[in-house]
């Protein structure tokens, strides 16, 4: 295989597939095939990119001209589809969350370890320019040692707000924690440069919802720091804020104000958010996957890291269920 122009297949032609397809084009690569169990969805996206449409992912995977696939299907299908893709020798960019169970994540890690292809997981925040700037500032010691991370997210999680499968606990694997909370857990661990080791969580579902719509959690981080997370789907508008508290000052990121650093009560750094930064992030993510596939180096977000995010999210559920804090012990690295 040579990847001057990498041929991608997309499995799952829903909302986020549009951003990936645009990113593939922007990165100078090609959407060659699109698959969706809904034929019209596959055909619509395929037509836009001059690709071939299919309704069975096995047809896409048996095409030897496809170098890699992007899996943008419902959560419970992530692991089985990725396993099929790895077995077919395709490089894989798998949307978050890596899986819906720890066992599935372990199985994927095992398959990825023996495969001679790349498996990357789509925790796209690692490619967002403002987030990279914030991460660089934190690593450069702009606020000193990190003591506390406060994550607050809200988005409408009422039925009708997104495709129906998100409200089916079997297909979605959970509700707002697994879907939205995993972005927050990722950001906490990435910014703090520390894994979550212990979790106290409480989740609740709005009446009539089979998946949780609101949750709060307190995390103990390795190295002694702490973090809190609220992720709510009822009543509030869109909120996506993080405050990182260090022993010299604080850093905040939000979609409106961008990145700000406060030391001694004064704002010392301000990095505004670029309007097109999500498109830029999806394109950078494609570049990373292709580069990893080309050189054999690790992708920026690999299977072990993504499994750690999943494990912390699942620990929110188990802690809530038993009414006590739980330890996140899992490691999936081969």
To ligand NAD, the closest distance from the beta carbon of 30 in angstroms equals 19
Determine contact, residues 300/288, Cβ cutoff 8 Å.
Answer: yes
If the CB atoms of residues 123 and 226 are measured against ligand NAD, the closer one turns out to be 123
Between β-strands 91-95 and 119-122, what pairing exists: parallel, antiparallel or unpaired?
parallel
Taking the complex as a whole, the smallest distance from the CB of residue 182 to ligand NAD amounts, in Å, to 8
* Closest CB to ligand NAD: residue number: 14
Instruction: Please choose, from the candidates 81, 97, 71, the residue with its C-alpha nearest in 3D space to the C-alpha of residue 310.
Output: 97
Report in angstroms how near the CB of residue 97 gets to ligand NAD at its nearest. Answer: 7
CB of 107 to ligand NAD, least distance (A): 18
- As a whole number of Å, the CA-based R_g of the chain is 20
Q: Which residues bind ligand NAD (CB under 6 A)?
A: 11-17, 35-38, 41, 57, 72-75, 77, 95-96, 122, 124, 163, 179
Residue 127 vs 262, nearer CB to ligand NAD: 127
Of the two residues 80 and 89, which places its CB atom closer to ligand NAD in the complex? Answer: 80
Q: What angle do CA 213, 219, 224 make, to 5 degrees?
A: 170
User: d(Cα 30, Cα 68) in Å, to the nearest integer?
Assistant: 10
Which CB sits closer to ligand NAD, 38 or 139?
Answer: 38
> CA-to-CA distance for 27 and 125, rounded, in angstroms?
18
Distance CA 183, CA 153 (A): 10
Q: Helix, strand or coil for residue 161? A: coil
The CB-of-206 to ligand NAD minimum distance in angstroms stands at 20
Closest CB to ligand NAD among residues 45, 142: 45
């Amino acid at each position: 295989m040579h990847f001057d122009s990498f041929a991608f297949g997309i499995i799952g032609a829903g909302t986020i597939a549009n951003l990936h397809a645009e990113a593939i084009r922007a990165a100078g690569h090609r959407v060659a095939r699109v698959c969706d169990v809904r034929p019209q969805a596959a055909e619509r996206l395929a037509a836009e990119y001059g690709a071939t449409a299919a309704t069975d992912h096995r047809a896409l995977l048996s095409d030897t001209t496809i170098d890699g696939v992007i899996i943008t299907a419902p959560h419970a299908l992530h692991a089985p589809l990725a396993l099929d893709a790895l077995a077919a020798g395709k490089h894989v960019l798998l949307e978050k969350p890596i899986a819906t169970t720890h066992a599935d994540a372990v199985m994927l890690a095992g398959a990825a370890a023996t495969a001679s292809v790349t498996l990357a997981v789509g925790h796209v925040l690692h490619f967002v320019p403002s987030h990279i700037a914030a991460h660089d500032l934190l690593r450069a010691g702009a606020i000193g040692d990190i003591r506390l991370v406060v994550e607050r997210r809200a988005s409408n999680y009422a039925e009708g707000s997104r495709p129906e499968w998100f409200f089916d606990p079997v297909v979605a694997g959970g509700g707002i924690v697994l879907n939205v909370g995993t972005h927050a857990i990722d950001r906490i661990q990435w910014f703090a440069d520390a894994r979550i080791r212990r979790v106290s969580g409480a989740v609740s579902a709005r009446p009539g919802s089979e998946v949780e719509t609101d949750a709060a959690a307190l995390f103990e981080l390795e190295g002694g720091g702490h973090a809190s997370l609220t992720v709510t789907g009822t009543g509030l508008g869109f909120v996506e804020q993080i405050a990182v508290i260090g022993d010299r000052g604080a850093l905040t990121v939000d979609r409106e104000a961008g990145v700000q650093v406060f030391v001694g009560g004064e704002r010392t750094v301000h990095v505004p958010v670029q309007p097109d930064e999500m498109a830029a992030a999806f394109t950078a993510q494609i570049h990373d996957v292709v580069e990893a596939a080309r050189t054999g180096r690790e992708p920026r977000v690999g299977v072990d890291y993504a499994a750690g995010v999943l494990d912390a999210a699942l620990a929110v559920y188990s802690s809530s269920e038993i009414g006590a804090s739980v330890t996140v012990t899992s490691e999936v690295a081969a």
